Amino acid sequence: MRLTRAVLGAAAVLALAGCGTGGEAEKVPPAASGSLESLAAEVRCKPNMQTDADEIRQAICRNGDGRFILATFATDRGQREWINDAKDYGGYYLVGRKWVAVGDDGVVRALRGTLGGDVEIGTDHRAHAG
């Protein structure tokens, strides 16, 4: 059963990444960089700041594609630790250098067309709790 889940999980990640067994891969621009405000401007949202600290800046954004969280980080390590902790709650993560956007699948795919980056999928362990 574990092998089957691993294969299905890998297939899902490949599908989100634009890879597959047929058809053309979707065009993904190079990953964007910059401040939270500049990233938000690229995807046409006005950030509603939730956290404005030295290590992390986090905002809620909404644009024509939907609602998402946009966060920037002071360090690569801080970003990876945040993502690793957050992925326990499920969701879709668009990851660039020192930034992440979190939303549902459709929103993350749309953002990727503008911001580039890599898609990571979280695992909601709460769904398995009895």
Going residue by residue through the chain (130 aa), what tens digit of pLDDT does each one get?
433 333 333 333 333 344 443 434 568 999 999 999 999 999 999 999 999 999 999 999 999 999 999 999 999 999 999 999 999 888 999 999 999 999 999 999 999 999 999 999 998 655 555 5
Are the beta carbons of 80 and 59 closer than 8 angstroms? no
Take residue 124 and report the two structure tokens written for it: 């909601």
Domain ranges of the chain: 24-128
Task: Map tokens 């939907």 to a residue.
Answer: 66
Among 105, 92, 110, which Cα is nearest to 29's? Answer: 110
